[in-house]
Structure 1
Amino acid sequence: MTKTVEGLAPGAVGKGRVELGGTASGVKVLRVRSVPSAEASRPNGPCPASGVLVSADEGDAAMGLRVVGLRLRNCGTADVALNGYPELQVLDVERRPVDGVQVVHGGARIASGTGADDPPRAFTLKPGEAAGSTLVWRNTTEGGAPVNAPYVRVRATPGAAPVTVTPELDLGTTGRLGVGAWVRDDAASPTPGR
């Protein structure tokens, strides 16, 4: 079960109740992820000044292949033009850039059939419309140290304000993260089987 607590100052404590649907004992917090408020992903939150909300789904994983969908919704009052790929920056647990990870356009260099291989197309999102993209990677470990990076800083378009999502990248030793082009949500299936 995941619970998000927003708006805590550094060093502050968040309290709350999580309904587990039964009796629970021995519950403990396994990990805490935090992002700067200005970069927080709030898929159902208030519309930011940029007029776009960017979020990530919980993804799918099978046999070392990982696929996470990104979603962008135009929550503003102006049209949003898209043509290309989200800009990504992989960040470590301290939110520092991770060196040595190659971000590749499309998913074919990672695996086939991920839904991340359509070429970029220019389109415009009217207020209320949405688009999707896909992150694809393999957790394959061979020689070397595996790369685990919880955060990805996403810019929907060049120069856009960043949003940080937490796909919990476990890249193994592959050193590659694939990203699909933005596609209109009615034509997109950001995660296979959804």
Structure 2
Amino acid sequence: MTNGTGEPADVTVVFSRTGAGGGATDNVTKTVEGLAPGAVEKGRVELGGTASGVKVLKVRSVPSAEASRPNGPCPASGVLVSVGEGDAATGLRVVGLHLRNCGTAAVTLNGYPELQVLDEERKPVDGVQVVHGGARIATGTGADAPPQEFVLKPGEGAGSTLVWRNTTGAGDPVNAPYVRVRATPGAAPVTVTPELDLGTTGSLGVGAWVRDDAGTSASGR
């Protein structure tokens, strides 16, 4: 893998191991953190089992300064933000955003995370409306709790929910791998990779932050 950007980046490559007939047997994900600009990282993907070949499914690159590392060191912001695995059914997508106070000071949340939808080149996507709550997209997603102010002590967590449909109609479908998240206004941004397939809907719903122990945050994808 190569970092073709002008800043250190966390680069993730998803490989597909293929069988004798060319069909996929399983996927393997490799990530290199803090890859320097222009640097090349070499490695191996073991075939294993009945696999006979390997192909690259996708490559994702996030600036290391904005990378989501849920199991990594606590950033200067004092919060770790990550995206879950999520659920998908009949074109509906429900994905959890997770936040943990990894610092030493209390963190106050009140309202919705601020989102910026980015394309494969991490450029803002025009024409996508971010709406508060999920009711305009689907009911029963867990994204419609009203915003409330609460304080997270060190070690405590909170969740939000992303909701969208991949319905297609007239126009070009929108596929946007990245979302830049600010947990609160003015907070340092974190870029996550929920792989938005918005179809031609032009809408992304986001739920208010809720405590993890409230039992209403999404399980995520």
Higher RCO structure, 1 or 2 (CA under 8 Å, sep 6+): 1
Which residue pairs with 2:78 in the alignment?
Answer: 51
Which residue pairs with 2:140 in the alignment?
Answer: 113
Post-superposition offset of 1:20: 6.9
In the alignment, structure 1 residue 84 sits paired with structure 2 residue 84:
no
Where does structure 1 differ by over 4 angstroms across 4 or more consecutive aligned residues? Answer: 17-21
Secondary structure at 1:117 match in 2: coil
The correspondence of residues 117-132 of structure 1 with structure 2, limited to 5 A, is: 117-132=144-159
Higher normalized strand content (fraction of residues)? 2
CA shift in 2, pair 1:141/1:134, >3 Å: same
CA offsets per residue over residues 115-164 of structure 1, 9 Å max, x none?
A: 10000010000000000000000000011111111100000000000000
Which residue pairs with 2:191 in the alignment?
Answer: 164
Secondary structure at 1:35 match in 2: strand
Listed as ranges, the gaps of 5+ residues in structure 2 are: 1-27
d(CA) in 1 for partners of 2:75, 2:186: 15
Contact 2:163 2:206 in 1 (8 A): yes
Which residue pairs with 2:8 in the alignment?
Answer: none
Secondary structure at 1:27 match in 2: strand
CA shift in 2, pair 1:151/1:81, >3 Å: same
Which residue pairs with 1:180 in the alignment?
Answer: 207
The residue type paired with residue 11 of structure 1 is G
173-182 vs 28-37, which deviates more?
A: 28-37
d(CA) in 1 for partners of 2:219, 2:139: 11
Contact 1:70 1:132 in 2 (8 A): yes
What CA RMSD, in Å, does the superposition of the two structures yield over aligned residues? 1.8
d(CA) in 2 for partners of 1:193, 1:36: 23
The structure 1 residue matched to 2:40, chosen from 13, 18, 22, is 13
Listed as ranges, the gaps of 5+ residues in structure 1 are: none
The count of corresponding residues between Structure 1 and Structure 2 is 194
CA offsets per residue over residues 6-29 of structure 1, 9 Å max, x none?
A: 111233223345567634321112
Flag the structure with larger Rg: 2
Give aligned-pair identity as a percent.
87
Secondary structure at 1:136 match in 2: strand
Contact 2:84 2:219 in 1 (8 A): no
TM-score normalized by structure 2?
A: 0.83
The structure 2 residue matched to 1:95, chosen from 122, 128, 140, is 122
CA shift in 2, pair 1:141/1:74, >3 Å: same
TM-score normalized by structure 1?
A: 0.94
CA shift in 2, pair 1:192/1:74, >3 Å: closer
